[in-house]
Amino acid sequence: QLVLGFESSCDETGVALCTTEGTILGQALHSQIAMHKDYGGVVPELASRDHIRRLIPLMNQVLAQSGKTLQDVDAIAVTTGPGLPGALMAGTAFATSLAMGLGKPVIPVHHLEGHLLSPLLSATSPEFPFTALLVSGGHSQLMAVQTLGQYTLLGETLDDAAGEAFDKTAKMIGLPYPGGPALSALAERGDPTRFKLPRPMLHSGDFNFSFSGLKTAVLTTAMKLAGVAQPSETMVLNPQDKADLCASFQAAIVDVLVKKSIAATRESQHQRLVVAGGVGANRLLRTQLTEAASKRGIQVYFPELSLCTDNGAMIAFAAALRLKANPKLLNRQDYSMQTRPRCPLNTAL
Ligand code: ATP
Ligand code: MG
Ligand code: FE
């Protein structure tokens, strides 16, 4: 069976066609990064409008790539939350209308389940059960994943998400949006030991995170380096200071993510650790985690780089797995277009 999936929860429009055996037949993605760049962040209204513009052309691209037509599709999948309300509505309204017109079911997909299962699309794919570190722009969570649909939250961030911390810190020191990739690129040229930054909650004894204090530590260091007394003043940092600060920040955040992930995997008595979400693209996180895990006989799995950030493939794939496990979903006749801008992973959609 074939599932056509749509993702539009934030600033990427993604479409993909997936078989219930888990093979992606075609996928297309449009990122709105260029459009939002001038504003230094995602402008929700612009995001919604752009999704509406992109959905049909991307869908046609995917069908052409796969050599399939809409009549070949057995189910439509769409991200119904969490995400920006307007952006979610654009995708959900489109996907639901399409499904109604075709007389096919709509399978609602939780965006975080899409991220969580995306490493299963890699050439080396983990078996259940595993511990998952989900680090994205809006979330930082550790989860115990028993099997499809059985997710236990072990801990999460008490303030900023890891990606958000990267983005806000980058913005603070004048790097372009989106800050995560820009900051980590600059960090490659810096000395990670130059500034002693805090490792928040490293020894908290639980699996929660906190990143806002780290962000503040970067700010006060940058102010000192730039010789300004107020954060509002323009901070001019020399290039080496900036690179060293980026490297020190990245080392601190990666250190916490690695240590807590390994501890959570051990406590769950899992042999596998799975990373998902945009920050999973971070090179240092990938190497440090692989190194720390191998010392303890834990196997680490990552999504392909292109599937770390938002995409349609992970949504079509999550729905395909759900459909394979529960063929009754084919009889679903709910076209109510419910979106859930905020919802925990275990919400029944
Ligand atoms: P959510 O899935 O929680 O709703 P989101 O969809 O916006 O949030 P993703 O698309 O998974 O998040 O990831 C985007 C985030 O990943 C951004 O914060 C971005 O800065 C970060 N990111 C991307 N590449 C890197 C990198 N190489 N290093 C660090 N952070 C990165
Ligand atoms: Mg995005
Ligand atoms: Fe996401």
Is 111 known as a binding-site position? yes
Pocket test for ligand 1, best of 9, 112, 308 (most atoms within 8 A of CB): 308
For residue 26, the cross-strand partners are 17
Ligand nearest to the CA of 83: 1
DSSP string, 89-100: HHHHHHHHHHHH
**With 80 as the cut, is the pLDDT of residue 294 above it?**
yes
Distances (CA, A) of 248 to 135, 188, 192: 19, 11, 4
* pLDDT computed for residue 17 by the predictor: 99
Q: Annotation-wise, does 270 bind a ligand?
A: no
Looking at the CA of residue 184, tell me the nearest atom of ligand 1.
28
Closest ligand to C-alpha of residue 315 is 3
- Over residues 301-307, mean pLDDT: 98
Q: Which residues form ligand 1's pocket by a CB distance below 6 Å? A: 10, 83, 111, 115, 136-139, 163-164, 166-167, 178-181, 184, 277-279, 281-282, 309-310
pLDDT of residue 274: 98
Tokens of 311: 């995409």
Residues 241, 123: contact at Cβ < 8 Å?
no
Taking residues 110-138, report their average pLDDT. Answer: 97
User: What is the pLDDT, as a whole number, of residue 234?
Assistant: 75
Residue 337 has pLDDT above 90, yes or no: no
* Distance from chain centroid for Cα 131: 16
Report how far apart the first and last C-alpha atoms of the chain are (Å, whole number): 22
pLDDT at 85: 98
More confident residue, 285 or 230: 285
Confirm or deny that 160 is annotated as ligand binding: no
Determine if the pTM surpasses 0.80: yes
The torsion region of residue 134 among left (phi > 0), alpha (psi -120 to 50) and beta comes to beta
Q: Is the dihedral of CA 74, 341, 10, 274 positive or negative?
A: negative
User: Which ligand has an atom closest to residue 278 CA?
Assistant: 1
> Any known ligand binding at 205?
no
- The answer to the question of whether 134 is labelled as a binding residue is yes
Which ipTM was obtained for this model? 0.98
Could you tell me what percent of the chain has a pLDDT over 90?
Answer: 95
Average predicted confidence (pLDDT) for the chain: 96
- In this predicted structure, the answer to whether residue 347 has a pLDDT above a threshold of 90 is no
Residue 72: pLDDT band with limits 50, 70, 90: very high
Minimal-distance CA residue to ligand 1 atom 23: 278
5-28 tens-digit pLDDT: 999 999 999 999 999 999 999 999
Q: What are the start-end ranges of the H helices in the chain?
A: 33-36, 44-66, 85-102, 111-117, 162-172, 179-187, 212-226, 239-267, 283-295, 312-325
Please compute the mean of the pLDDT values over residues 297-307 and round it to a whole number: 98
**Mean pLDDT on 69-74:** 98
308 Cα nearest atom in ligand 1: 11
Residues 140-170 have pLDDT tens digits of 999 999 999 999 999 999 999 999 999 999 9
Mean of the pLDDT values across residues 25-46?
Answer: 96
**At 348, is the pLDDT very low, low, confident or very high (cuts 50, 70, 90)?**
confident
Mean pLDDT calculated for residue range 76-81: 98
Question: 304 with 311: CB under 8 angstroms?
Answer: no
Q: Give tens-digit pLDDT for 42-65.
A: 999 999 999 999 999 999 999 999
Ligand 1 pocket check: which of 171, 310, 311, 314 to mutate, most ligand atoms within 8 Å of Cβ?
310
pLDDT digits (tens, 9 = 90+) for 231-265: 877 788 999 999 999 999 999 999 999 999 999 99
> Which among 168, 173, 136 has a CA at the least distance from the CA of 282?
136
Q: What confidence score (pLDDT) does residue 74 get?
A: 98
